[in-house]
A and B are shown apart, each in its own frame.
Chain A
């Protein structure tokens, strides 16, 4: 397993500088705006890019090489998911660092940032959980299209919804539905739990798909 981890690490290392620069930019931008939400959500985008950066190399011959070695198909999938979780953890670290710096610099500390962080991680896990088996089944390019769909469709729905309904109606309804209470706070962590559940189901599905795939 360590050899497969190293492979991914070496593949990403090439782009490490770009990722770090982008992350630094997002953090500086977010902190200067006093907005840690920006850091969290942009970290999500970076994390997804990072998590899927190794797929194309595997698709274009890496899988064949690995399968000619004493590496089981299950282990190949395991490493992919662990890599995805590691990228998620990286998001958490970066967002947390941005939030801590923001709190130190800002006069108005952000409330419920842990809750928002849990939602971001939950979304990340759901994305990875959906896209990974799609990649194994249909390939990386189709998975990218699905990823776009997962981002664009909700955005369009929200955009149209905002256009059709007065914004104050929505915000009042949301405030009633999700008051800033402990229940709402706990709900954000439940969302993280949903993300983990999706990852678990996704892993089993990916193993089944990959074990049947021919090269």
Chain B
């Protein structure tokens, strides 16, 4: 499968933090969820892709062409939502549409108007008077109104009510139907990503801990609930992390299928992605 976005050894250093040699390919026609705790490097990675900051090492390519070669024009095909940025809050939605029409070659007024109606956005109200959720919906309307091939969303569903979040997730699923469109979305709401993502990339303290097909991730890992003594008997090569409490131990098992063959006496439950991530972040290793 072609890579819509190719990242190889992408590195960015700050005082006290390093985005450390991130390598992954975002395939065309897929939704890739980028997860990680606050400060993990998700926004830094997205900004590096969007050329808002320079990387110190590595390469980034869009549809096989490096960013240096592409300049800024490739973003005509990218719909972007970034947290903490806004165009000009002194405008209203219609004026924003007028600006975007001149910026994006593929701008479609009728699509923008449709999304404004669907999201019930007041066209005459100033953007600075919108609620957080309304601003997000307006950004989404803009991102979807210029025939973008790639959507890059940073916390696009945060601040939205569950109904609105569900609507957006449906839009994302519809967006990738033709397998020529790609979505890279970062979110804290992992349950949203679990619904729609094809791949999950987990960043922790600037490092890419795993990047896997979602179904494979959920199939590969398992959680064992046991006593501390039973935990000590689990072969170390299967333990990704452990959380101990006064009620017992929970161990995250990698390669569940092999573990179940080797240690059939243990009951292995299916985790969700949030649990897997919590084990990585808070779990102990031997």
Task: List residues of A whose CB falls within 8 A of some B CB.
Answer: 1-4, 6-7, 10-11, 13-14, 57, 60-73, 214-215
Contacts of B263 in A (CB 8 A): none
Complex Cα gap A106–B167 (Å): 69
With A6-B99, A11-B91, A71-B103 known as contacts, the answer to whether A64 contacts B84 (CB < 8 A) is: yes
B73 at the interface (CB under 8 A from A): yes
With A6-B99, A214-B54 known as contacts, the answer to whether A70 contacts B84 (CB < 8 A) is: no
Q: Which of A1, A70, A214 contacts B104 (CB 8 A)?
A: A70
Please give me the 8 A-B residue pairs with the lowest Cβ-Cβ distance, nearest first: A64-B85, A3-B102, A3-B103, A68-B80, A214-B53, A2-B102, A70-B76, A61-B85
Q: Is the CB of A68 within 8 A of B71?
A: no
Complex Cα gap A109–B98 (Å): 46
Q: Which of B72, B87, B105 contacts A72 (CB 8 A)?
A: B72
**From residue B238, how far is it (CB to closest CB) to chain A in Å?**
42
**From residue B102, how far is it (CB to closest CB) to chain A in Å?**
4
Q: Is the CB of B50 within 8 A of A10?
A: no
B165 at the interface (CB under 8 A from A): no
Q: Which of B82, B87, B91, B103 contacts A70 (CB 8 A)?
A: B103
Q: Mark B73-94, 1 if CB is under 8 A from A, else 0.
A: 1111010101011111111000
**From residue B97, how far is it (CB to closest CB) to chain A in Å?**
10
Q: Is the CB of A67 within 8 A of B84?
A: no
B18 at the interface (CB under 8 A from A): no
Complex Cα gap A176–B223 (Å): 93
Q: Is the CB of A6 within 8 A of B95?
A: yes
Contacts of B104 in A (CB 8 A): 69-70
Q: Is the CB of B99 within 8 A of A64?
A: no
Contacts of B71 in A (CB 8 A): 72
Contacts of B152 in A (CB 8 A): 68
Q: Which of B85, B86, B95, B100 contacts A10 (CB 8 A)?
A: B95
B52 at the interface (CB under 8 A from A): yes
With A61-B84, A72-B71 known as contacts, the answer to whether A7 contacts B91 (CB < 8 A) is: yes
Complex Cα gap A215–B52 (Å): 5
**From residue A159, how far is it (CB to closest CB) to chain B in Å?**
38
Q: Is the CB of B91 within 8 A of A68?
A: no
**From residue A42, how far is it (CB to closest CB) to chain B in Å?**
25
Minimum CB distance partner of A72 in chain B: B72
**From residue B193, how far is it (CB to closest CB) to chain A in Å?**
21
B207 at the interface (CB under 8 A from A): no
27 contacts between A and B (CB under 8 A): A6-B99, A6-B102, A7-B88, A10-B91, A11-B90, A11-B91, A57-B88, A57-B89, A57-B90, A61-B86, A62-B86, A62-B87, A62-B88, A64-B85, A65-B85, A67-B50, A67-B52, A68-B78, A68-B82, A69-B75, A70-B105, A71-B72, A214-B52, A214-B53, A215-B47, A215-B52, A215-B53
B101 at the interface (CB under 8 A from A): yes
Q: Is the CB of B50 within 8 A of A68?
A: yes
**From residue B79, how far is it (CB to closest CB) to chain A in Å?**
9
**From residue B136, how far is it (CB to closest CB) to chain A in Å?**
13
With A62-B87, A68-B85, A71-B72 known as contacts, the answer to whether A10 contacts B51 (CB < 8 A) is: no
Q: A6-B102, A69-B103 are in contact. List 5 more A-B contacts (CB 8 A).
A: A6-B99, A10-B91, A64-B82, A72-B72, A214-B53
Complex Cα gap A61–B95 (Å): 18
Complex Cα gap A19–B82 (Å): 33
Minimum CB distance partner of A57 in chain B: B88
Complex Cα gap A70–B103 (Å): 7
Contacts of A63 in B (CB 8 A): 85
Which residues 118-157 of B have a CB within 8 angstroms of A?
Answer: 152
